[in-house]
Every structure is written in C-alpha cells, then in structure tokens.
Amino acid sequence: MIINKINKKVIKRGQEKSIYLTFDDGPNEIYTPKILDILDEFGVKATFFVVGKNAERCPKIVKRIHREGHDIGNHTYSHPGSPLLKARKRRFIKKEIVKTDRVIENIIGERPILFRPPLAFWDISSGFLKRQAKEFGHLYIGWSFSTMDWLGNQFIIKKKYLQQPKNDGDIVLLHDGSENTLVKRRWATVKMLPEIIRDCRDNSLQPLPLTSSL
Ligand SMILES: [Zn+2]
C-alpha cells in the first residue's frame, strides 16, 4: 500500500476497504482523552497530528495516544497562521518542524514520520514546505474528506460528512484541538465520533492509522 503523490488518499492493494481518521491541533486536556476513550471503545486506531507546544503541555496524553496504538504526526510547533514562505522566513518553518519532532521524540522515544501543515492555504502554497518535509524524512499528508468539524456544529458534520459518499482510501480531517479558529470547543467532534465510526463500518470501510498503509 502507498500514500499517493498528492497525499490526498491512500492507494492500496487488496480487497479490504480502508479509511483514515485524522485528528489535528491537539493534544487537548479536555477533548483528546474523550476521543481516545471512544476510539478504544470501538477498537479503532487513528492518526493524531499534534501541535508541538500542546504536546509539550500535555506529555501524558501524547504518551497515551502512542501507547494505545495510534499514529502521531507533526503539525508544526506553534501552528502559525501563514505559510511565511519568503526566503527570510524559511528558517522559521524549519524550526517549527524540527522543534516539534524533538518534542514528540522526547515524549514517546520515536521521531514522527508524518507531517501535515496547518490550515488549508498552507497546502496550496507549500512547494517549499513539501520539499522541507521530505528533507526531514517526513511524509507530507493532506486530506481528502473534511468533516468541517472545526465549526463546532454537529449538524454541519452530519451534512458535510455523514450524508456524503466516502471512498476507499479517504483521509478524513477531524480536530481534537483548536488553533487559529473562532470556535474552540470540540464537543461536536466528540459527540459525532461514534456515528462517524458506525458510518465507516456501515460502508465496509475499516478505520486505520496512516502508517498501516506504508
Ligand atoms: Zn491545524
């Protein structure tokens, strides 16, 4: 199985259909443990793209994510709101990536291999970032299916995710934390997660952590 060139989907061989639930912007003291409890209850493994400064604040939760068999990816140290791609800012981006790698490695004893940039517009303007991630040995991961859960509204998640067709290999964007967004609460994500998992299973899609596709 391979994560394809644009990293929007996981292309794999074989019969079983898979889907990849990914959680960004945590860890968060309130929401991440609730999400981990639900994943555990359903026997589902997922991927958490953690923000370095949050990981530093909540090392016990990072350890729990790792201990329970989920993937941990790098989502920069401070979740900067702009790509800052001018040459003089490149050093800043490198620092954001390297610092977060160190924070994660210090907590779980492993360097992450997955990297997701913050905010969608980074994704659009990030040729440099992609090269940089590769240079640090990371796989650059986007998503193919946004639940729009950052709006913190269960109805929107229902409309945007549950009522839309999902495909084999889809990478689903969810949030256990909040950065650069007006809505800070993640109760909608917590409340809808059991339905999202049931929906995967109803569609014969097995939720897996991203590194299981490597
Ligand atoms: Zn983010």
pLDDT per residue rounded down to tens, the chain (214 residues): 445 544 556 666 556 899 999 999 999 999 999 999 999 999 999 999 999 999 999 999 999 999 999 999 999 999 987 655 555 567 788 899 999 999 999 999 999 999 998 876 565 556 777 777 788 889 989 889 999 999 999 999 999 889 999 999 999 999 999 998 889 999 999 999 999 999 999 999 999 999 998 8
Check if 175 is active-site.
yes
Distance (Å) of CA 51 to CA 57, 102, 104, 130, 157: 10, 12, 10, 18, 23
Q: 37: which residues sit within 8 A by CB, 6+ positions away?
A: none
Question: Rounded to the nearest whole angstrom, what is the distance from the C-alpha of residue 97 to the centroid of ligand 1?
Answer: 14
Question: Rounded to the nearest whole angstrom, what is the distance from the C-alpha of residue 172 to the centroid of ligand 1?
Answer: 13
Q: What pLDDT is stored for residue 1 in this prediction? A: 42
Tell me which of 24, 71, 149, 170 is the catalytic residue: 24
Question: Rounded to the nearest whole angstrom, what is the distance from the C-alpha of residue 30 to the centroid of ligand 1?
Answer: 17
Question: Rounded to the nearest whole angstrom, what is the distance from the C-alpha of residue 49 to the centroid of ligand 1?
Answer: 8
Q: What pLDDT is stored for residue 91 in this prediction? A: 79
Q: What CATH number does the domain containing 112 carry?
A: 3.20.20.370
DSSP string, the chain: -EE-TTSSBEE--SS--EEEEEEES---TTHHHHHHHHHHHHT---EEEE-HHHHHH-HHHHHHHHHTT-EEEE--SS--SS---SGGGHHHHHHHHHHHHHHHHHHHSS---EE--SSHHHHHT-HHHHHHHHHTTPEE---SEE--GGG--HHHHIIIIITS---TTBEEEEESS-SS-S----HHHHHHHHHHHHHHHHTT-EE--GGGG-
Check if 101 is active-site.
no
Question: Rounded to the nearest whole angstrom, what is the distance from the C-alpha of residue 14 to the centroid of ligand 1?
Answer: 32
Q: What pLDDT is stored for residue 187 in this prediction? A: 97
Tell me which of 71, 175, 176, 202 is the catalytic residue: 175
Q: What pLDDT is stored for residue 5 in this prediction? A: 40
117 is in which domain, residue-wise? 2-213
Question: How many structural domains comprise the chain?
Answer: 1
